[in-house]
């Protein structure tokens, strides 16, 4: 973590008003990246959907579990979670650098669109083989996007960095 640069401190009017170093320490202690203001815990929401999709080819009845999965925004995820610093996670996200947050939100929006479209297609599918194929395709699309989102969270936004991480 020593290579992380702290994000600019919040104003003294925020509930976490502290200088930059103290804020960075507070975020790091809560498993929130101090450089980006984002937490990888949010990706668990998408990893859950992937896990369910991966089970469908071998256990077609798991399609119902996937179809029960609902997209959640960053704030919705943390409000519903047991994450100990959920209020801090939401506040850090809301005050994150707009460019970083935009990159992150674009990836999340695309994953949400794909998962929603796959769910809609599965609802209309008549055969288990069709649902299995949809699930396999979706996993192939979503997993790399989770990796890209993780790269943004960890301040590794370049495509080369993500490619290296995914290869190793």
Residue 8, pLDDT above cutoff 90: no
Angle at CA of residue 33, ends 114 and 139, nearest 5°: 20
Calpha distance 148→103 (Å, rounded): 10
3-state SS, residue 35: coil
- Give the residue from 73, 63, 76 showing the smallest Cα distance to 118: 63
- For the chain, the domains span 40-82+97-167
pLDDT of residue 19: 75
Say if residues 87 and 74 touch (Cβ distance below 8 Å). no
* Mean pLDDT, the chain, whole residue set: 86
Whole-model pTM: value is 0.80
Give the tokens for residue 20.
């930059």
């Amino acid at each position: 973590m020593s290579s992380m640069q702290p994000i600019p401190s919040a104003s003294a009017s925020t509930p976490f008003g502290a200088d930059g170093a103290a804020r960075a320490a507070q975020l790091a202690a809560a498993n929130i990246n101090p450089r980006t203001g984002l937490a990888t815990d949010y990706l668990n929401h998408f990893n859950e959907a992937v896990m369910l999709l991966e089970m469908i080819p071998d256990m077609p009845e798991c399609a119902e579990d996937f179809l029960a999965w609902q997209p959640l925004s960053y704030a919705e995820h943390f409000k519903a979670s047991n994450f100990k610093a959920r209020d801090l996670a939401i506040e850090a996200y809301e005050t994150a650098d707009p460019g970083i947050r935009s990159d992150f939100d674009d990836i999340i929006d695309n994953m949400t669109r794909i998962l929603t479209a796959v769910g809609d297609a599965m609802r209309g599918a008549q055969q288990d083989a069709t649902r299995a194929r949809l699930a396999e395709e979706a996993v192939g699309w979503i997993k790399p996007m989770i990796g890209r989102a993780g790269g943004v969270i960890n301040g590794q936004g370049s495509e080369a960095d993500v490619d290296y991480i995914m290869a190793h």
